Amino acid sequence: MPWKPEKEEDRWGHKKSSFLLTENLREVIHDLRNPISCIIGYGQLLAARAVDPETKEDLEKILRQAERASEMVKGLAVFAHRSEEKKENRRQDGMEAMEETHTEGSLNWGKLKEMKDNEAEFSSADGLSTLRIVEMDEKQKRIYLINQTGRITWPLKYQKLEEVHKKVRTGKVALAPHEIDKLVPTWGSIITGLLKYLGCEDGCR
């Protein structure tokens, strides 16, 4: 498989963490809201029933902290909403930029860099992964991709990508995962999805 082992992904930690944060934050917020609301509700009920001043004071301390936690969750919800808006805006900007400069089936380093800058996402041919370019090595001409779970691939050589594109463009190879796997083992589904995203089909120009 083209995925790097977890221990090899350490240097990508900040990118992976950022990616996972925006992907999973909404679910975390949902999971936190219910128990916090429950604590506040029962805390208010117990505080109203409490007769002992010391017990009532302790309950009020718990309520203050629970309400503080509730405000923090509300702040996270705002952050998540803004992050989603920014991500959607980048996606739309990326699509518009691709449409403006798009030549059917074209592939070049600049277009891949544009995809990275705009955080443009594409699907693997098997539909199991949503990916984007997370890093580009200008000197070695290699790209790294990250999927929806934060897994990062081994580097993909741009030269290999060009070779595959040329064979597909000239009709020597079909744009299908099992065919691409013969040229670049284990990369068939990802490369097929990437080239299709760029507008390339069998015999593309």
Q: Where are the domains of the chain?
A: 6-92, 109-197
CA dihedral 92, 205, 176, 164 (to 10 degrees): -100
Instruction: Give dist(CA 5, CA 66) in Å, integer.
Output: 40
pTM of this structure:
0.56
Give the Cα-Cα-Cα angle 47, 49, 54 (nearest 5 degrees).
Answer: 55
Determine the average pLDDT of the residues in 80-105: 60
Structure tokens at 194: 């990437």
Strands 130-137 and 142-147, bridge-based pairing: antiparallel
Determine the average pLDDT of the residues in 146-172: 92
Residue 22: what pLDDT? Answer: 59
Q: Which residue has the tokens 């936190």?
A: 32
Least reliable range by pLDDT among 72-76, 82-86, 172-176, 198-202: 82-86
Per-residue pLDDT at 191 exceeds 60: yes
Residue 89: what pLDDT? Answer: 67
The DSSP 8-state label assigned to residue 143 in this structure reads: E
Residue 103: what pLDDT? Answer: 43
Decide if 136 contacts 113 (C-beta within 8 A). yes
User: What is the residue type of 151?
Assistant: R
CATH code that applies to domain 6-92: 1.10.287
Say which residues have a Cβ less than 8 Å from residue 63's Cβ, sequence separation at least 6: 40, 43, 44, 47
User: What is the residue type of 128?
Assistant: L
Residue 101: what pLDDT? Answer: 44
| Number of neighbours of residue 190 by Cβ within 10 angstroms | 24
